[in-house]
């Protein structure tokens, strides 16, 4: 009890927490064999340790400093970048669960189009914590299959638990040294945001998506040029934008949302 009082004394007023933070608290309690009360106290104390919490500027700066400090061991060079992501994964995890939730509106053209299908398959490439794909799956009440692609880290353990908790069918495609572009299922929507600038072969990744995205399917992404920084290994994406145009994708939102030709 003294431990709990000490932790709560450091806790900021950041409630109500978002659904991912609440789920994290329950998952971490199960993982560590503690009460949800203690798990919540530990999470709030962690958030209180930096001004603005895990989503704030100070924690972002902490992430940047950690990237630079440990770059001596794991840089973003081709032979090291996966190890760098694995090493920094717990820090990235805390930042991601504090993201503002993405809410799909009922009149979103993607939602309207997918609502006409009996079943929907979503590929979330570079899924992180899959906030967008999971929230979309929740709208369709179990008629969605998720295929989550990312480097396997502690986030995968959480996502497997959370998808099961929500009763959302979910499979994983692990990005590894032996299999850098996992085989994808045929799908109706691919969410691939914060992906292409992070890989050395963005056009190859896109071709794998294109080959399995069904005619008339949607690609939600960001193929604008990006700031040059650590882990932005391909910040300039002009050749990828050109390839998307060559294939005749309809531009719904410039650089962000595309629809594959029906034929």
Taking alpha carbons only, the member of 63, 64, 139, 67 closest to residue 101 is 139
Q: Report the C-alpha gap between 252 and 208 in whole angstroms.
A: 21
State what percent of residues in the chain have pLDDT above 70.
94
Report domain extents, the chain.
2-97, 109-259
pLDDT interval class at 14 (50, 70, 90): low
Q: What pLDDT digit, counting tens, does each position of 126-143 carry? A: 999 999 999 999 988 778
pLDDT computed for residue 141 by the predictor? 76
Homologous superfamily, domain 109-259: Vaccinia Virus protein VP39 (3.40.50.150)
Instruction: Say what the pTM is.
Output: 0.93
Q: Say which residue the tokens 């145009």 belong to.
A: 245
* Rounded Cα distance, 65 and 186, in Å: 40
Question: Binning pLDDT at 50, 70 and 90, where does residue 165 land?
Answer: very high
């Amino acid at each position: 009890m003294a431990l709990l009082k000490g932790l709560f004394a450091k806790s900021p007023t950041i409630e109500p927490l978002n659904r991912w933070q609440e789920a994290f608290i329950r998952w971490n309690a199960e993982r560590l064999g503690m009460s949800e009360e203690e798990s919540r106290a530990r999470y709030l104390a962690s958030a209180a340790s930096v001004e603005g919490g895990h989503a704030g500027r100070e924690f972002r700066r902490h992430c940047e400093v950690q990237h630079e400090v440990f770059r001596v061991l794991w840089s973003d060079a081709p032979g090291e970048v996966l190890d760098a992501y694995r090493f920094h994964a717990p820090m990235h995890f805390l930042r991601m669960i504090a993201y503002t939730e993405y809410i799909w509106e009922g009149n979103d053209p993607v939602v309207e189009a997918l609502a006409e299908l009996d079943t929907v398959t979503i590929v979330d490439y570079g899924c992180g914590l899959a906030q967008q794909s999971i929230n979309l799956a929740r709208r369709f009440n179990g008629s969605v299959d998720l295929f989550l692609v990312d480097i396997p880290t502690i986030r995968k353990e959480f996502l497997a638990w959370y998808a099961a908790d929500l009763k959302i069918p979910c499979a994983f495609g692990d990005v590894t040294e032996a299999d850098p572009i996992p085989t994808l299922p045929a799908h109706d929507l691919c969410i691939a945001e914060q992906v292409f600038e992070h890989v050395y072969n963005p056009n190859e990744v896109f071709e794998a998506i294109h080959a399995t995205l069904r005619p008339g399917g949607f690609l939600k992404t960001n193929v604008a040029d990006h700031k040059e920084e650590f882990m932005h290994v391909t910040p300039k994406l002009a050749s990828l934008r050109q390839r998307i145009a060559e294939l005749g994708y309809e531009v719904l939102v410039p650089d962000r949302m595309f629809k594959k030709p029906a034929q």
